[in-house]
Amino acid sequence: MLTVGDKFPAFNLSAVKPGAEGIEGPGKSFTDISNASDPGKWKVVFFWPMDFTFICPTEIAAFGKLAGEFADRDAVLYGASIDSAFVHLNWRVHNADIHDLAIPMLADNRRELSQALGILDKQAGVALRATFIVDPDGTIQWAAANGLNVGRNPQEVLRVLDALQTDELCPCNWEKGKETLKPQALFEHA
């Protein structure tokens, strides 16, 4: 699996548009998103194994509810799985939890991005529940992966993004607005 310091791989994938545009139907609901999309922004790219499952919509909906918070931090959210854009669209239309999803759903149906990232489950051949925070230069600054049966915490991803954007030393459980560590101050008290 690619990790901190690695360049996020180049990609160009079909996606279901966010919001109401995403459910207008084939021909109107799709767009292409690449690594060059949204230049100058932080990118949070999260993968789920596949559509029409049980844990996945809980995570996707939770990320979607935080889309505005990520946008406030000059970051874009991209959700992705190995399903096609047509399957994503069908799932959006038929699942109330993600019907009005505020983020695009990328279709890595050829598994090229998942494979380049090294996040395909060896047994099931689907993407792990992997999350990447990528800086505006395209470098991975945080990477995490859960197994297929454990959901992740989008609030924690937001907290880590906040910490990364301080460009300072952030202690355990640090939250936005709290003090960061000042090395000189630590030595003065020793």
* Angle CA 123–59–50, to nearest 5: 35
User: How does DSSP assign 16-84, residue by residue?
Assistant: EPSGGGGGS-TTTSEEEEETTSSTTSEEEEEE-S-SS-SHHHHHHHHHHHTHHHHHHTTEEEEEEESS-
Q: What is d(CA 141, CA 163) in angstroms, rounded to the nearest whole number? A: 11
Active site residue 56: yes
Q: What residue type is 47 in one-letter code?
A: F
Selection from 128, 145, 129, 136 nearest residue 164 by Cα: 136
* Residue from 56, 103, 113, 157 carrying the catalytic annotation: 56
Residue 152: partners with Cβ closer than 8 Å, 6 or more residues away = 46, 59, 129, 131, 144, 146
Rounded distance between C-alpha atoms, residue 164 and residue 156, angstroms: 12
Catalytic residues: 56
